[in-house]
Amino acid sequence: MAERMLEGKVAVVTGAGRGIGRAMALVMAENGAKIVVNDVGAAVDGQGHDETPAQQVVREIEAAHGQGQAIACYDSVADWDSAQRIVKTAIDRYGRIDIVVNNAGILRDVIFHRMTPEDFDAVIKVHLYGAFYVSRAAIPHLRAQESGAFVHMTSTSGLIGSIGQVNYAAAKLGIAGLSRAIASDAARSKVRSNCIAPHAFSRMIETVPGVTEEQMKARAAKTRPDQVAQLAAFLACDAAAEVTGQIMGARGNEIYLYSQPRPIRTIHRGTGWSAASLAQTLLPAWRGNFTPLERTRDVYPWEAI
């Protein structure tokens, strides 16, 4: 029998009814964790409510690992009081919380000049506010026990770039900053915080324009949610005690460690700068070091393995 890396731990996984969230809930349960399966059961754009997906994942976990190993929770991450109830579900049912996986998300893709404030706000609320609300609800418990791990889902849409996803990209890059700051603030309490930028077939991938059905099937075969889930389980376990404040990626059988913004060039002028002198000096010196305006597919031109 494989080693159970999360034995005795309790994990809250948001957006766990389908796709990557479901895979993370199943893999963490396989590794011995008790799971709060949180999902409102909304459509990709955040509309609607269906308790069936969360219930089905609970049934899958219980069938494989026994009764009591999972509980469904249908509260929304996008509301402060509701997020408190998500964490309370773990405390009331299992007496503790050790892991928070902030995975819940929606998409409302539209080119920037047509994006409405409502579409921007809705995506920010679920992704960025949701990650903050659930993490903030959990941190008093993790600090008190001096242990715990946050695993947040970021995206190459924010880290690299994407078209028609200003709201999503802003939220996902914000989550990377949120995770880094949580890691700093919580380090003294031995609480860790890391991000994963996943490449895996899911309902959200299906919304990407310009991709044929054949391409979708090929991507689904090579980028499975369980590959992301294994990385999440590792980041949540005690074996990763030294890993915090990092951004990793999973794409097929490849695992990435992402760089984070640091100065790469400096330029100095003893008499100070004007706009004209910057134009004369900065551009020739730095032009070759500017980050290209790329999209994810430009940075990953090879197929997943």
- Let me know: does 23 contact 31? Beta carbons within 8 Å: no
Q: Residue 132: count other Cβ atoms within 10 Å of its Cβ.
A: 18
CA distance 245 to 213: 37
Question: Residue 275 falls within a domain, yes or no?
Answer: no
Q: Which domain holds residue 168?
A: 10-257
Residue 108 backbone zone (phi > 0: left; psi -120 to 50: alpha; other: beta)? beta
pLDDT digits (tens, 9 = 90+) for 228-268: 999 999 999 999 999 999 999 999 999 999 999 999 999 99
Which pLDDT does position 210 carry in this prediction?
54
**CATH number, domain at 241?**
3.40.50.720
Q: Average the pLDDT over each of 68-77, 78-87, 204-213 and give the range with the smallest value.
A: 204-213
- Let me know: does 16 contact 58? Beta carbons within 8 Å: no
Question: Residue 302 falls within a domain, yes or no?
Answer: no
**Domain total in the chain:** 1
Which pLDDT does position 207 carry in this prediction?
53
Q: Tell me, what amino acid is at 271?
A: T
pLDDT at 26 over 80: yes
Which pLDDT does position 301 carry in this prediction?
86
pLDDT at 205 over 90: no
Question: Residue 299 falls within a domain, yes or no?
Answer: no
Which pLDDT does position 302 carry in this prediction?
82
Question: Residue 262 falls within a domain, yes or no?
Answer: no
Which pLDDT does position 218 carry in this prediction?
58
pLDDT at 285 over 60: yes
pLDDT digits (tens, 9 = 90+) for 132-172: 999 999 999 999 999 999 999 999 999 999 999 999 999 99
Q: Residue 155: count other Cβ atoms within 10 Å of its Cβ.
A: 26
**Mean pLDDT to the nearest integer, 86-108:** 98
Question: Residue 128 falls within a domain, yes or no?
Answer: yes
CA distance 66 to 209: 41
Which pLDDT does position 1 carry in this prediction?
54
- Let me know: does 54 contact 107? Beta carbons within 8 Å: no
Question: Residue 298 falls within a domain, yes or no?
Answer: no
DSSP annotation of 3 reads: -
Which pLDDT does position 160 carry in this prediction?
96
Catalytic residues: 168
Q: What are phi and psi of 54, to 5 degrees?
A: -65, -40
**Structure pTM?**
0.93
Question: Residue 137 falls within a domain, yes or no?
Answer: yes
Beta-strand pair 70-73/34-38: parallel
- Let me know: does 150 contact 179? Beta carbons within 8 Å: yes
Q: How far is CA 180 from CA 10, 80, 248, 261, 293, in A?
A: 23, 21, 12, 12, 24
Question: Residue 18 falls within a domain, yes or no?
Answer: yes
